[in-house]
Every structure is written in C-alpha cells, then in structure tokens.
Chains A and B, each alone.
Chain A
Amino acid sequence: DADVTQTPRNRITKTGKRIMLECSQTKGHDRMYWYRQDPGLGLRLIYYSFDVKDINKGEISDGYSVSRQAQAKFSLSLESAIPNQTALYFCATSDPGETANYGYTFGSGTRLTVV
C-alpha cells in the first residue's frame, strides 16, 4: 500500500456541486498538507494541519475547506465547485522532526475537472 493514498484518482463534477477529496497516510506523520498543481503555476498550498486540532489556511484557501478526522486522515472539500478549480490536487505529509523542513511525502494526486 502507498504511504499516502488519495481518493478518488479522477473526478469530473458539475459547477456548483460539493465534492470531497480524501487523503489517508500510513507514515505516522503529524503534519499534512493539501496542494493544487496547475501548469505554469506549480504547487500552491491550500491548507495545512500540524496535528489533529490544528488547521491553517495556505495561500489559496478561498473556496475550499478541510477536515482533519484523525492523525492519518485529512480531507479537502470544495463547497460549490467552479471551473477554475479544475486542477491536480495533492495531499502530502511531513515529519516534525529532522526532516520537517524538506521531507514531504506526496500522494499520487486527484485529477479534478469541474464542468
């Protein structure tokens, strides 16, 4: 099994629909992140969580919300999807110890298309 599992892998949804992307990890890491990746813009941070009770906005949080259900689970929701949220979404984890500043483990991504 992958260290970081994202579901679904692909999703097409209609404008205005609510959608949830799920992430689970077996690394035992406290820190989890959601990024979106767009051509020419790279990876941009949406939300991050340093433990179950900690949720923080990233640089592009508008239109998104998150829930940290457990140490191993971090879900991202689009409350009312719009076409410019079409992107590749990645969940990542990191270790708060020695590798906190550079050791991200990414999932395989969710390709979301909003039509």
Chain B
Amino acid sequence: QKEVEQDPGPLSVPEGAIVSLNCTYSNSAFQYFMWYRQYSRKGPELLMYTYSSGNKEDGRFTAQVDKSSKYISLFIRDSQPSDSATYLCAISGYQKVTFGTGTKLQVIP
C-alpha cells in the first residue's frame, strides 16, 4: 500500500464549478499536510499547508484535513481556466515528505 494515494484524474470541469481534489494516507504519524500546484513544464509550487484537522481557507481555495479518516481534500471554488494544472498533495512527518502522484485538472471556459 502506498503511503499516499491520489486519484490521477484527469478531471475536467466547466468554468465556475467547485472542484474537489482528494488524497488518503496510511501513516498516522504524518503531521503536516500540503497542496502543490504544478503547471505544465514548471516545477510544483506550494499552494496551501496545514497541520491540524479542520479547514483552512485562502481565497477560492480551502484545504481540509480529517486525521481520524486519514483523508485530505482541496476545494476550489469558482474554478477558472487558470486553475488548469496538476495538483499534488504532500504529507510530511519526521523530516520526510511524501508526495501523491498528482491529479490533472482542466477547467474549460
């Protein structure tokens, strides 16, 4: 079993839709939870991070962590064509970071 599982997609949605991206993890020792966004031919860039269960909001983006279920989500409201990218979850603990394989998102105008 992989330490972090992420649905690879691709996910295609119309502009303005709410997008839900998800990851599950197996190691309860993980402490920090991140989402990276990667545009084509670019490196991943940190989008959001959190270290506790619950929600964290930043503009149109909301990161949600449920430690009891070992489940993390990223919600994008009012999705825009500029949100088209691959989204990677990343989970960290004890100096080790494990990345999900990424979900490719396309927002259609």
Contact = CB atoms under 8 A, between A and B. Distances in A.
A102 to B, nearest CB: 4
Contact of A102 (B44, B97, B101): B97
Contact of B46 (A43, A90, A104): A104
A84 interface: no
Contacts of A101: 31-32, 92-93, 95, 97
Interface residues of B, number: 24
Interface size range of chain A in the complex: 10 to 19
What is the interface of chain B mostly: helix, strand, loop, or mixed? Answer: strand
A102 B55 CA distance: 17
A74 interface: no
A92 B38 CA distance: 14
A102 B43 contact: no
A109 B8 contact: no
A73 B100 CA distance: 27
B102 A109 contact: no
Contact of B100 (A42, A105, A108): A42
A4 interface: yes
B46 A102 contact: yes
Nearest to A111: B41
